[in-house]
Amino acid sequence: MTAIAVDNLVKEFGDKRAVDGVGFTTGESELLVLVGPSGCGKTTTLRMLAGLEPVSSGTIRFGDREVTDVRPRDRSIAMVFQDYAILPHLTVFENIAYGLRSRRTPRAVVKDKVPEAARTFRIDHLLDRKPRQLSGGERQRVALSRSMVRDADLYLYDEPLSNLDAQLRYSAREDILTLHRRKKRPTIYVTHDQSEAMALGDRIAVMNAGRIQQIGTGEELYERPVNRFVAFFIGTPSINLFTMELKNVDGDMVASGCGLDLRLPESIAHRIRAYAGRKIELGVRPEHLHVPRMAPFDVTEDNTIHGVVTVIEPSATGSTVYLSTPEEAGAEPQDFTATFKVRMPASYLDQEVPLGIDLEKVHLFDAETGDSLLHGPQGKG
């Protein structure tokens, strides 16, 4: 079976570099998600893979075969677009069969495969309908059925769920995983939604400004982001970032700033002594802030942040609490977020509370470059 290898892919539109040296390989049955903010070059990368957009430079290989300049129809690709590309004048059956017919598939095969795919996606009772008689979710499943009937070397999805409401999106994710598990072929899935990326991807490539910032499993990206961008993009609510200075205080490494002096544990300190005197951003994920009496570690003045509670938002699993560092802390107040597994009573609103920071789990980034001091090319982890 075919795996995909993309090397140093560049796309320029005039003097705009939309894709700037993208490279990755996929496993033979891997689902790789490209995720990133609007305009970062995801769709352009996908269109180059499909052959719909010529590359400015770089190579694309499907297994042993270089396809960089091969026409789209000779690439053996099945693609599901954001707008599903469903033909309004054809019935559901004919829409699903479209790719097979255009490849001159024998009638008997079409007659078998189309209802089978429609059954998989629970639209077999709609085969005679026209697209205008379908709901958004049903149309989306027509598009999935159409890619199901094809035996392609590569499956591509461009934000196929963005037109669906939240509930349908969850069930459609399952449909996509069903299709992927049946096909066991490399699949590239584009989305701007990090939670969708986490739910679907075997691995995730986070893109920004035309480049892949990091590729890894959801867990790797979440726990070991190589830079501030990845740390901030992955995870909801986003990681809290505090601009601070690293100090060596009698051999201890202390992160100082925003009214805080945080004594970093030796597990982190020994990796960053060379950075003493440098400006950093300290990243704390909202779930790594703890009410002192419930913290799984000792809360002391070396790991405490004080915050005035500004908003308490109940969530399915507890509460999300928005806070601001108190004014008298000797620095500009800074907003930050904490998530708790329990409901915080409304009586805490406008109150100042101490929270323990799990310093074993913090992230440190060079304030200038945004690179992690702990993970990736600059770090040792």
Ligand X SMILES: Nc1ncnc2c1ncn2[C@@H]1O[C@H](COP(=O)(O)OP(=O)(O)OP(=O)(O)O)[C@@H](O)[C@H]1O
Query: Residues in the site for ligand X, rule: CB under 6 A?
Result: 13, 16, 18, 36, 38-44, 192
Q: Please state the closest distance from residue 48 (CB atom) to ligand X, in A.
A: 10
Residue pair 238/229 in contact by the 8 Å Cβ criterion: no
Q: CB nearer to ligand X: give 15 or 250.
A: 15
Q: Please state the closest distance from residue 246 (CB atom) to ligand X, in A.
A: 35
Q: CB nearer to ligand X: give 46 or 260.
A: 46
Q: Please state the closest distance from residue 71 (CB atom) to ligand X, in A.
A: 19
Residue pair 168/137 in contact by the 8 Å Cβ criterion: yes
- DSSP SS3 for 381: coil
Q: Please state the closest distance from residue 65 (CB atom) to ligand X, in A.
A: 25
Q: CB nearer to ligand X: give 152 or 190.
A: 190
Q: CB nearer to ligand X: give 14 or 345.
A: 14
Cis status, amide bond into 237, omega within 30 of 0:
yes
Q: Please state the closest distance from residue 38 (CB atom) to ligand X, in A.
A: 3
63: left (phi over 0), alpha (psi -120 to 50) or beta: left
Residue pair 360/309 in contact by the 8 Å Cβ criterion: no
Residues near 74 by beta carbon (within 8 Å), at least 6 away in sequence: none
Q: CB nearer to ligand X: give 41 or 283.
A: 41
**CA 44 to each of CA 15, 163, 176, 214: distance values in angstroms, whole numbers, following the listed order:** 15, 20, 22, 18
Residue pair 284/242 in contact by the 8 Å Cβ criterion: yes
Name which of 254, 242, 209, 221 is nearest 375 in CA terms.
221
Q: Please state the closest distance from residue 112 (CB atom) to ligand X, in A.
A: 36
Q: CB nearer to ligand X: give 16 or 104.
A: 16
Q: CB nearer to ligand X: give 192 or 290.
A: 192
Euclidean distance between CA atoms 146 and 97, whole angstroms: 7
Q: Please state the closest distance from residue 32 (CB atom) to ligand X, in A.
A: 15
Report phi then psi at 37, rounded to 5.
Answer: -70, 165
With residue 110 as reference, give the H or E element that holds it: helix 107-120
